Amino acid sequence: MKVFPELISVNKEELVNYPTKAFEGKIHVISKQQDVDSAVEYLSAKKMIGFDTETRPTFSKNHTNTVALLQLSDENEAFLFQLKKIGLPLNLVKLLENTTVAKVGVAVKDDIKGLKKIHNFDEGNFIELQSVAKQLHIEAMGLRTLTPVVLGFKISKRQQLSNWENDTLSGSQKLYAATDAWVSLKIYQQLRPYTL
């Protein structure tokens, strides 16, 4: 196995030294059933896509909200599925079950668990970045620290606790959501050769 570069983690103080980057491709917000088909068709043709979800934050221990947004992205196009409006349609479920399309993300187990509360499915070919990082002796585990370690830039986490159930997502919410899915894919593309 090749050895990944020596940096294994970064702390909060070191993060300020990195430039901030975000997704620069096209962002599609999918809020109507008729838009799901073309999005799924596009994504199903890919070998690998970035994956993430967003849930409206709750500040009560006894209550959890339903997943509001599912983000799937390649290098050029990000699709934000507003699950509060469309649910989890069958063709989108089939994409999540599809074993020929790898879905890459961080803490995917929790995301899958949340999605299964909307519609149960047999997840197919999900790749957990935390497992890949561990295998390569990288201590950074979250997207916030994995991104500078692997890609040499940082991403903004300002919108993390915003209301993902909003009917209309703000520009900064859309960019944040697209970036999280896209950067997961970019991290894996960078790390994959070291795992072979």
Per-residue pLDDT, 151: 93
Token pair belonging to 181: 């899915």
Per-residue pLDDT, 117: 95
φ, ψ of residue 184 in degrees (nearest 5): -60, -45
- Residue 96, pLDDT > 90, answer yes
Check residue 168 and give left, alpha or beta (phi > 0: left; psi -120 to 50: alpha): beta
Q: Give the number of other CB atoms < 10 A from CB of residue 38.
A: 12
Q: How confident is the model at residue 142 (pLDDT cuts 50, 70, 90)?
A: confident
Q: Please give the mean pLDDT across all residues of the chain.
A: 90
Amino acid at 21: K
- First-to-final CA distance of the chain: 7
With beta carbons less than 8 A apart as the criterion, state whether 124 and 96 touch.
yes
- Residue 31, pLDDT > 80, answer yes
Q: Which of 154, 155, 147 is nearest to 186 (CA)?
A: 147
Per-residue pLDDT, 157: 72
Per-residue pLDDT, 29: 97
Amino acid at 35: D
- Residue 4, pLDDT > 70, answer no
- Residue 57, pLDDT > 90, answer no
Entry pTM: 0.92
Longest pairwise C-alpha distance within the chain: 48
- Residue 37, pLDDT > 70, answer yes
- Give the Cα separation of 73 and 155 in Å (integer): 16
